Structure 1
Amino acid sequence: MEPLVSIIMPAYNSGNTISRAIQSVLDQTYSEFELLVIDDGSTDNTVDIVNFYMKTDSRIVLLRNPRNLGVAASRNHGCRMAQGEYLAFLDSDDMWFEDKLEKQVSFMLRKGCDLSCTAYAYAHPHEQPSRDKRAYRVPESISYEQLLKENVIGCSTVMLKATALNGHAFCGDYAHEDYVLWLELAKAGKTLCGLDEVLTGYSYGGRSANKFKAGKNRWIIYRRAQKLPLPKAIYYMACYILNAIRKYKSLRKD
């Protein structure tokens, strides 16, 4: 019997993009999933769109926060309500290629890892991603030290064992709360693996678009969340800057 995958999708005023995200889930060649959409106090037509899809597919569940709580709290809510052996995350402005779940479940079963991520293609929010352009590749195995140098894990590419989250959660105290959780899991000895196939379309130009702010947030993670000594924080910050420049140049090239 194929394992159930619980897909966690936080949504806040996502009326312009969420249809594509949901449809990319429904188009999956792997059918053993539930899609938990967590509405975080939207004031647009997000809930109407989700309700429309719910009428067509019983695997879709809408959860609603009592007020706007933020993406970390929304993901944690979804994780608590999930029934699956595996958890997968998809932001409401991203999308999956149709074989994403099938290939990643097979990869997880074969590798026996706690968490896996995939390669992904960059695209603007209203542009159709292509597997052949603007691809971000991922290494086969991912260590804590590698993650400190560069966050190679795109949140919308992640699948993990539900049991791997025992004692762990997304922390809303930091920007890039997903990155803090991946670091936590790696530091706790969980096995993190990369499936280097482009299976996800990632929308860029969102929270990470302001490079100065992103750099400041990374420094806060190094010093406060990870409590790195100053020399180590400086070293990893230099690595982060160099990798950010490389990523930016690759996007410009395409």
Structure 2
Amino acid sequence: MIHLEKSTKELFGYTCVAHVRNTGIEKSSGKYIAFCDDDDIWFPYKLELQINAMKRSGCKMSCTDGLWGEGEYDKNGRYSIYNAVFFFNILKDKYKNTNLLDNGFPDIWDLEFLKIHNCVICSSVVMEKDLLDIIGNMKHLKSGEDYDCWLSALNHTNIVYLKDICFYYDSRHGYGCNYEH
């Protein structure tokens, strides 16, 4: 656990999740960086699946599909699948002038694919740390810092996309909000 002496709101005047993520990246010593926001949940097999897919594909970055819900995760709950169900029709419209979604989501995403729309949930990402070193980590932006990071990374690698459900995304929380019990 890393404790910051001042909140990002005190430091920058706004909630800056990039600063918090960059602090974690800078303190890490492993080959891979994986993000998990405080309100999201990883499923047990996530990291193994993604790292194996990265090794097989040669990509330095991976992301997965996941469950989309509102509130704390309940293993007996019913949830939409984030990309494949919840956003697929919206995405089909955004990609209508391309053939990029003709057979569902491709296994490899390049810069052209991701420029149209950010299909990547931060808590689904695993990246090689050296890729983050090359692009200079996340920029301190008021919003969209993750999308900016993915686009920068795609100048150096592609993303291997796993259709496996590897995380739960709570759409009611975000930007450092914690659950209150």
Does 1:158 find its partner at 2:125?
yes
Q: CA deviation at 1:206?
A: 3.9
Partner Cα distance (1:189, 1:100) in 2: 24
Alignment of 1:117-132 (within 5 A): 117-128=63-74
Structure 2, unpaired ranges of 5+ = 9-15, 85-104, 176-181
Contact in 1 for aligned 2:111/2:158 (Cα 8 Å): no
Q: CA deviation at 1:140?
A: 0.9
Contact in 2 for aligned 1:94/1:125 (Cα 8 Å): no
Name the counterpart of 2:36: 90
Name the counterpart of 1:66: 5
The SS at the match of 1:74 is helix
Q: CA deviation at 1:129?
A: 5.8
Task: Write the letter of the residue equivalent to 2:2.
Answer: L
Q: 1:130 to 1:172 in 2, by over 3 A?
A: farther
Task: Write the letter of the residue equivalent to 1:65.
Answer: L
Task: Write the letter of the residue equivalent to 1:118.
Answer: T
Name the counterpart of 2:89: none
Partner Cα distance (1:131, 1:198) in 2: 14
Name the counterpart of 2:107: 140
The two structures have a TM-score, normalised by structure 2, of: 0.73
Partner Cα distance (2:22, 2:165) in 1: 26
Q: CA deviation at 1:127?
A: 3.3
Alignment of 1:179-194 (within 5 A): 179-186=147-154, 188-194=155-161
State which of 105, 110, 132 in structure 1 corresponds to 2:56: 110
CA RMSD of aligned residues (A): 2.1
Deviations 1:170-216 (A, max 9, x none): 11224021111001111x232211011111111113459xxxxxxxx
Count how many residue pairs are aligned between Structure 1 and Structure 2.
146
Q: CA deviation at 1:63?
A: 1.0
Deviations 1:130-177 (A, max 9, x none): 797411235311122221211111100000111111232111224021
Deviating above 4 A after TM superposition, structure 1's stretches of 4 or more consecutive aligned residues are 129-132
Alignment of 1:48-67 (within 5 A): 62-67=1-6
Name the counterpart of 1:199: 166
Name the counterpart of 2:143: 175
**If each structure's helix is expressed as a fraction of its own residues, which one has the higher value?**
1
Contact in 2 for aligned 1:93/1:203 (Cα 8 Å): yes
Deviations 1:24-81 (A, max 9, x none): xxxxxxxxxxxxxxxxxxxxxxxxxxxxxxxxxxxxxx11111012311010000001
Task: Write the letter of the residue equivalent to 2:51.
Answer: V
The SS at the match of 1:63 is coil
Q: 1:91 to 1:126 in 2, by over 3 A?
A: same
Percent of matched pairs sharing the same residue: 27
The two structures have a TM-score, normalised by structure 1, of: 0.53
Partner Cα distance (1:93, 1:133) in 2: 16
The SS at the match of 2:112 is helix
The SS at the match of 1:108 is helix
